[in-house]
Every structure is written in C-alpha cells, then in structure tokens.
Amino acid sequence: MLPSIESIKQQRLKINMTQKELARLVGVSTSMINQIESGRSAPSYNTAKRIFEVLASKESEASTHNAGELCSQKIVKLKPTNTLGEAMSKMDKEKISQIPIFDDNIPVGVISDSGIIGHMSVGVSKKIKIQDIMESTPPIVDNETPASTLAPLIKYSKCILVRKGTKIIGIITASDTLKMIE
C-alpha cells in the first residue's frame, strides 16, 4: 500500500526538491508531476510507486539523524520469567508504555500497556509469566540506520531496538521519533 498521493508535494518540499528534479528521477515530465500534485491527474500505480521510492531515497540521503542519535540508551528490560504484575509496576515506576523482554542479552519479545490491558480484560492473573503473554520481538536496526526509515517501523511496532555490532545499545519509541521533526 502506498502513501496518499496528496502527500507527494509535501514530501518533495520537505527535502527541497523541485518538480523538475523529481520528474527527471522518476522518468516523467515536469508537467506530469505538476498535474499529480495539483490533483488534475492521477498517476498509474507504477508511477506513484516510483515517485514514493525516489522521495524516500532522497529523504534518507537528506536525513541528518540516525538511529544511534535518536535512541535512548537507558533500556528498561525484563526477563521472560518476570510476572505481569512486575511488568506493570516497572512501567508505572519508569513512566513508560513498553518494555523489551530479554533472555540473557537476546531480545525475545516486548510487553506493552495496550497488550497488558488486553490481557487484563480477559481476566489474566498478575502472577502469569511474561513469556506466556509477551508480543513478538521488536524490530532491531543498526545504529547508522537513517532516521527517516524509522517512522514507518514505529507505526507497526511498540518500539525499535538499536544495535551496534552485536550489542543492543538503545531503544526508540514513538516519542523518540518526534525528535526527527526539526
């Protein structure tokens, strides 16, 4: 599924690209880009896909931040053997909405406030082990990953873990992605 066609102009202007430059990179006329942006013409699926690929590529080149700069290096962790009650207490104490679950130094899942609410609504005990109710492991990105590629990931996951080499060095949450807005 592609982003909204109405967002093309906004994305193009955000990275200081002209219609002429976008048209050249996509392989269409400047007039076609103008017609698409003004709503006078609808692009084919392939043309729209190519426009969004070019915009995403140029945006990541223009990005001044990377995952390592945006992540919080304080990672609050739990083990799969911790209980739901312990997770709830830690989330309340730390004022956070998700906690990655690590087995030794290996991420194996995540527990989130929305997941907890779902389990509590069906009467799950606070004594249940996290391993029995945790969600799947969050995405893991390299610390050099451009910040522009993080926003789509955070839409579909509770958090993103950041690694340098083989070591997890940080965590990115939805609130961290707000740092990208300059």
Task: List, for residues 15-33, the tens digit of each pLDDT value.
Answer: 889 999 999 999 999 999 9
Q: Domain boundaries in the chain?
A: 5-62, 67-180
Dihedral through CA 46, CA 24, CA 54, CA 57, nearest 10? 160
pLDDT bracket for residue 182 (50, 70, 90): very low
CATH 3.60.9.10 fits 67-180, yes or no: no
Q: Are strands 167-172 and 160-164 parallel, antiparallel or unpaired?
A: antiparallel
Task: List, for residues 127-173, the tens digit of each pLDDT value.
Answer: 999 999 999 999 999 998 887 778 778 877 879 999 999 999 999 98
* Token pair of 38 as six digits: 């003004």
pLDDT bracket for residue 60 (50, 70, 90): low
Task: List, for residues 32-41, the tens digit of each pLDDT value.
Answer: 999 999 999 9
In DSSP notation, 142-182 reads: ETTSBGGGHHHHHHHSS-EEEEETTEEEEEE-HHHHGGG--
CATH topology of domain 5-62: 434 Repressor (Amino-terminal Domain) (1.10.260)
* Token pair of 3 as six digits: 């982003």
* CA dihedral over 58, 62, 67, 70, signed as positive or negative: negative
pLDDT bracket for residue 181 (50, 70, 90): low
The candidate with the shortest Cα–Cα distance to 163, out of 171, 152, 173, 155, is 171
For the CA atoms of the chain, what is the radius of gyration?
A: 21
129-160 in b/e form (b: 16+ CB < 10 A) is ebeebbbebbbebebebbbbebeebbeebbbb
Share of the chain above pLDDT 70, in %: 93
pTM metric for this prediction: 0.64
Task: List, for residues 77-128, the tens digit of each pLDDT value.
Answer: 999 999 999 999 999 999 999 999 999 999 999 999 988 888 877 778 889 9
Whether 52 and 12 have beta carbons less than 8 Å apart is answered as no
Same fold, 5-62 and 67-180: no
